[in-house]
Structure formats: structure tokens, C-alpha cells
Amino acid sequence: MAMNPKPALPVRKSEGSKPVQRPQDVRRVNRASVLELLRERPCSRSELAQMLGLSKPALGDLIGDLLEQNLLLEDTPTPVQRGRYPAPLRINPRRFCVLGLDLSVDNCEAGLYNPLGEPLEILQTFSGVGQGAHEVYRRLLRASREVLSKASMPVAAVGVAAPGPINFEQGQILAPPHFPDLHNMYLVEQLQRDLGLPVYLEHDSAAVARQYLGSTPAENFIYILLHRGIGAGIVIGRQIYRGQHGFAGELGHVSIDIDGEPCPCGNRGCLENIAGTTAIELRYGRLTRTGLELSAIAALAHSGDPVAQLAFEQAGRALGWAAVNLVNLFDPELLVLGGPGAAHADLLIPSLRHHLNTRAYPYLGWGEHLPIEVDTLPKPVGIGAAEYALGAVYRGEIPLPLWERGSA
């Protein structure tokens, strides 16, 4: 089933920024802006109008639509200052929900999220790497159905994050190096058929970056996802950049050493063979002839073990090198470290920071001033996947499921 030669259904391209060519598109744009602002915090009509630079009547009209669709709730006005009290508007957290899936090498996760992106119900299991496409997909579907059965509100869409590379046109996973079961799987088509919902597929690293957009005002940043591999979610103008073939951000396969060790990917000296979590474990293992897991090595490093510290330091140094190059190429506003490796960011950041401070193009000390944030959110990939689905609803790409009038 995973090997269908061709997809039959039309496949949704996600995050498609349609051209703005007519007045109706303006409405779509403004509607999405309103919802994005309201995700941050409740606002009154006046406040929204001012923030967006639109007139009060225009905004009132727009809000009217959203209220009618029950996407927003209007709370009772609360005292603020003198003058009529503003009526706080907020997103209706019970209007609908979305399903967010994370299909990673060792994690198979299905979660329900409310319109604010908050988790309602999460089911985590193993993806079953090495047991074949059929089995992997079966687990994913089973988890999805189980979670869906618990939904207490209509489900609008599904977002799924998977390792790249991905063919977005066809909704097909191509050839993730550490997850051969998925090779050439038409994931979108299958899920759409089996779940009967619109499905949005995204890179895992793009998904986490998408998720992080919610908690940062940064316009241009790079989210470095540290796990066995290393991915980069590239955000430009608050848009995820995917590349021509949906392939951008393979930071793990950037070469740090032109004559380095060959990597299965074809390149040499790939970053992820030096700074990926597996690489850290292997390095420590080679030095000590043991086979500890990452967290154990981190614990040793914290308790002063110099070899364990070295293992992390070398990874940090390589990441620092990568960071310098990213800065000189992208000039981002922010770097974010996330994923399993980021749990031990305190061991990586000192050498990363040192490299960045001393080597990034030094004018005005942009290297020194570049903030590095650590994303500690528990399940960032699944949330990111859900965000894609949410975004589609916000942009009005998906017809909203019906709701029972009166169920505030």
C-alpha cells in the first residue's frame, strides 16, 4: 500500500501563499492577520484596528464574519480606562481541532490540538523502524484513529511532520536516510484517503520552526533541530522556506571538512556525523570503549567527566562553525536550538558561542549579539505539524466543519 506508483487524489500543497490579485484576497489576508494577532492574546476591535492599520468599521465587519462562524468569542467588556469598555475577542478554543502527527525515526505520535495550538490529547508510540512501510504506516494510522476517536469537537485538518527529503507536489516522502521504511511513500494521499481529512505534510525541521514562530516575534531566524540527524528550519519573513524541491535546510549534510569522513549521503565531513546526537554517543564510545546513551554521557559531563565534556565540546565547536557560516550567509536575527540534543544545550552552547563570537563577520559584533534560544517545548514536532493544519484553517483554505449552534 505504501508503494502506490502514482497518487490519484489531488494533493494539497501546504502553506501555499496564494497571490493577492483581487479584493477578496485582501479579506483573506486581513482575516488571517486578525486571527494571528488574537492567538497571542485577546484584543478588542479597536485595538486590532490600530495594530493592523485598518479602519474600525472594516474590522468590525471582519469580526462579524468570524463571530458568525463561531471562530471567535466575545467576552464581557472589562474595565480598562475611562470610556466605554472594550469587548475582548478571543479565539474560540472549542470551535474545532486539528490532528498533528509526528512520524520520526523513533517517535510515532498523534495529537489533537485546539485552535490555539494547545494539546488536548496525545498518543505516543514507536514508529517501528525497520519493520517495513506497511507496519510503520499501520501504526501511524492506528494512533491517529485512536486519538481521533477521543475528539470532542469537529476535526478540521491533519498536519504531519516527517523526515525529509520530501516531494511536496506529490505529497511523497522520498528517501530519509535513517528511515528507509518510508522511502517513496505517498503519505499524503494515503492519509487523506484513510482519514477523510485534508492533510498537510511538512519537514520535521520546518515543522518545529513553524511551531516556534508562535513564540517569537522574529522575522528571520533559523531553527536548528538536533537529533540523530541535524535539520534546519529556515524562516524568512515569518515564512518557512522550503527550497525548490522542498529540500532546504539539510544542515546535517553541510560539509564541515572537504576531506572528512564519507557520509552515506555522498558528501564528506557532514556536520551531523560530528554534531548529531548519534555522533556524540559514538565519539564518547570510541574514546571510552563503552556504549552509553546521550543523557548518560551528559550526566557524566555535568559531574565533571572530562571525556564526556570533550564529546559535547567538539559537537559544540562544529555547531559553532555551522552557526558562523549560517550567520554569514543568512544574517538571521536569532538561532534556536531544539530537539532531543537541545536538552543538553548547556553543554554545547559555550563552545558554540565562543566560535560564533570570535569568528562571525565581526562588524558591530553581530556574532556576539546574535541571540541563541533553546526551545524546551516537550513535543515540538507534533505541535509544529498541527500548526500547519491550523494555518490552513486560519487562511480559510479549509471549509470549517459544522458546529452545533449554541455550543459556545
CA–CA separation, 369 vs 352, rounded Å? 13
Interacting partner of 63 out of DNA, its own copies, none (Cβ under 5 to 8 A depending on kind): DNA
Least distance from C-beta 125 to its own copies, angstroms?
A: 28
Q: Under the criterion CB under 7 A, does residue 53 sit at the interface with DNA? A: yes
- The closest alpha carbon to 15, from 344, 229, 239, belongs to 239
Q: Under the criterion CB under 7 A, does residue 22 sit at the interface with DNA? A: yes
In the list 15, 102, 189, 250, the residue contacting its own copies (rule: CB under 8 A) is 250
In the list 40, 61, 146, 331, the residue contacting its own copies (rule: CB under 8 A) is 331
CB nearer to its own copies: pick between 47 and 121: 47
Least distance from C-beta 365 to its own copies, angstroms?
A: 10
Least distance from C-beta 59 to DNA, angstroms?
A: 7
In the list 246, 380, 382, 391, the residue contacting its own copies (rule: CB under 8 A) is 246
Taking a C-beta distance cutoff of 8 angstroms, is the pair 330, 323 a contact?
A: no
In the list 36, 37, 39, 54, the residue contacting its own copies (rule: CB under 8 A) is 54
The C-alpha cell that represents 26 in the structure block: 485582501
Interacting partner of 365 out of DNA, its own copies, none (Cβ under 5 to 8 A depending on kind): none
Contacts of 304 (CB under 8 A, 6+ apart): none
In the list 14, 44, 172, 216, the residue contacting DNA (rule: CB under 7 A) is 44
Q: Under the criterion CB under 8 A, does residue 267 sit at the interface with its own copies? A: yes
Q: Under the criterion CB under 8 A, does residue 115 sit at the interface with its own copies? A: no
Straight-line distance from the first to the last Cα atom of the chain, in angstroms, rounded to the nearest whole number: 42
- The closest alpha carbon to 90, from 111, 118, 57, belongs to 118
Which of the stretches 61-69, 162-170, 188-196, 376-384 binds DNA when contact is defined by CB under 7 A? 61-69
Pinpoint the alpha helices (H) of 124-184: 133-148
The count of C-alpha atoms lying within 13 angstroms of the C-alpha of 270, restricted to the half-sphere facing its C-beta, is: 18
Interacting partner of 79 out of DNA, its own copies, none (Cβ under 5 to 8 A depending on kind): DNA
In the list 283, 317, 344, 353, the residue contacting its own copies (rule: CB under 8 A) is 317
Angstrom distances, CA of residue 24 to CA of 54, 57, 243, 287, 374: 16, 17, 29, 63, 40
CA–CA separation, 136 vs 2, rounded Å? 10
DSSP-derived secondary structure letter, 80: -
By CB under 7 A, how many residues form the interface with DNA? 31
Contacts of 363 (CB under 8 A, 6+ apart): none
Contacts of 230 (CB under 8 A, 6+ apart): 224, 251, 252, 271, 272, 275, 276
Residue numbers at the binding site for its own copies (CB under 8 A): 19-23, 25-26, 29-30, 52-54, 165, 174-175, 219-220, 232, 234, 236, 241-251, 253-258, 265-268, 317-318, 321, 324-325, 328-333, 358-364, 366
Residue numbers at the binding site for DNA (CB under 7 A): 21-24, 26-27, 30, 44-47, 53-58, 60-64, 77, 79, 81-87
